[in-house]
């Protein structure tokens, strides 16, 4: 395990926050992967959970996006970290939400709910993503409007960055929806895929095309299953690091 130092924290709502910390010089990962992070626990044993790395592979530091669970063994404590505090970092990253797990395609759909946007925060700041795809659609669904802020800030950061804005150009599309408040687009992402709203909103023909579309999915277990079923129904094949496919899901996420 590595012991790393917290550089900054930002709290978005009473349920969501992000933090950045130092990165060991010899820590390598692919954009979209997750790693074990945590804090010291009882008897000196670290309390660890899997967290997607939200920063891209080229970043000198590491960024994470987390929910706060009042009685959560780790998040109840992690939400109180501040600049200068120590966080434990695992030495090996892994995961299936990586470009290598997908076959070549034209449009990449990144389907996320809540903190499931984290691995995609990494991928949309990775130049290789835009080299491989003509269009990258970041889909983020949350319960409340305020919970969309992390993704909105992320898009603005890319637009304001000289290098990233040139790489992403008009290839990056941001699609948002909310389930519990009135909003321009309201509803669960699965319903918005089924009724064609997602595709109409971004100017695409309705439905996934297994010939040209590729999909990455990250969210709750129920959301993963429902979105994977929609991909399968469209004739898509699940991919992996060993056998690239049309869509991939990530089962490791922090509650």
For the beta carbon of residue 252, count every other beta carbon within 10 angstroms: 18
Q: What is the pLDDT of residues 185-211, one digit of tens each?
A: 999 999 999 999 999 999 998 899 999
- pLDDT of 162 reads 95
d(CA 165, CA 168): 5
What three-state secondary structure class fits 129?
A: helix
Phi, psi of 10 (to 5 degrees): -145, 125
Domain 2-89 sits in which CATH superfamily?
A: Translation factors (2.40.30.10)
- With a pLDDT cut of 90, the percent of the chain lying above it is 92
Name residues whose C-beta falls within 8 Å of residue 129's C-beta, 6 or more positions apart in sequence: 31, 99, 108, 123, 136
Global pTM value? 0.96
φ/ψ bin of 99: left (φ > 0), alpha (ψ from -120 to 50), beta (otherwise): alpha
d(CA 78, CA 66): 9
- pLDDT surpassing 60 at residue 160: yes
Q: Looking at 27-31, 67-71, 231-235, which range is the least confident one?
A: 67-71
d(CA 51, CA 111): 17
Domain ranges of the chain: 2-89, 99-249
- pLDDT of 44 reads 78
Q: What is the pLDDT of residues 96-134, one digit of tens each?
A: 999 999 999 999 999 999 999 999 999 999 999 999 999
Name residues whose C-beta falls within 8 Å of residue 190's C-beta, 6 or more positions apart in sequence: 223, 226, 227, 230
- pLDDT surpassing 50 at residue 238: yes
- pLDDT of 37 reads 96
- Better-scored residue on pLDDT, 36 or 253: 36
- pLDDT of 253 reads 55
Tell me the CATH architecture of domain 99-249. 3-Layer(aba) Sandwich (3.40)
- pLDDT of 255 reads 36
pLDDT (average), residues 22-32:
97
Per residue in 99-118, is it b (16+ CB within 10 Å) or e — as a string?
bebbeebebbbbbbbbbbbb
């Amino acid at each position: 395990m590595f012991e790393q130092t917290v550089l900054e924290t930002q709290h978005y709502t009473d349920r969501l926050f992000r933090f950045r910390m130092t990165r060991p010089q010899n820590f390598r990962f692919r954009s979209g992967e997750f790693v074990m992070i945590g804090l010291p626990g009882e008897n000196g044993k670290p309390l660890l959970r899997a967290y997607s790395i939200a920063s891209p592979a080229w970043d000198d530091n590491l960024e994470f996006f987390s929910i706060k669970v009042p009685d959560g063994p780790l998040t109840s404590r992690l939400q109180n970290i501040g600049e200068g505090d120590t966080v434990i970092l695992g030495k090996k990253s892994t995961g299936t939400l990586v470009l290598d797990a997908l076959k070549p395609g034209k449009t990449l759909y990144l389907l996320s709910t809540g903190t499931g946007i984290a691995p995609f925060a990494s991928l949309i700041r990775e130049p290789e993503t835009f080299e491989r795809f003509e269009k990258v659609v970041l889909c983020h669904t949350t319960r409340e409007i305020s919970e969309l802020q992390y993704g909105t800030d992320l898009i603005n950061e890319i637009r304001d960055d000289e290098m990233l804005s040139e790489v992403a150009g008009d290839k990056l599309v941001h699609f948002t929806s909310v389930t519990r408040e009135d909003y321009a687009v309201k509803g669960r992402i699965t319903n918005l895929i089924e009724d064609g709203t997602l595709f109409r909103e971004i100017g695409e023909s309705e439905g996934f095309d297994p010939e040209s579309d590729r999909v990455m999915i990250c969210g709750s277990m129920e959301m993963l299953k429902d979105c994977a079923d929609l991909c399968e129904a469209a004739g898509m094949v699940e991919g992996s690091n060993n056998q690239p496919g049309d869509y991939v899901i990530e089962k490791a996420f922090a509650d």
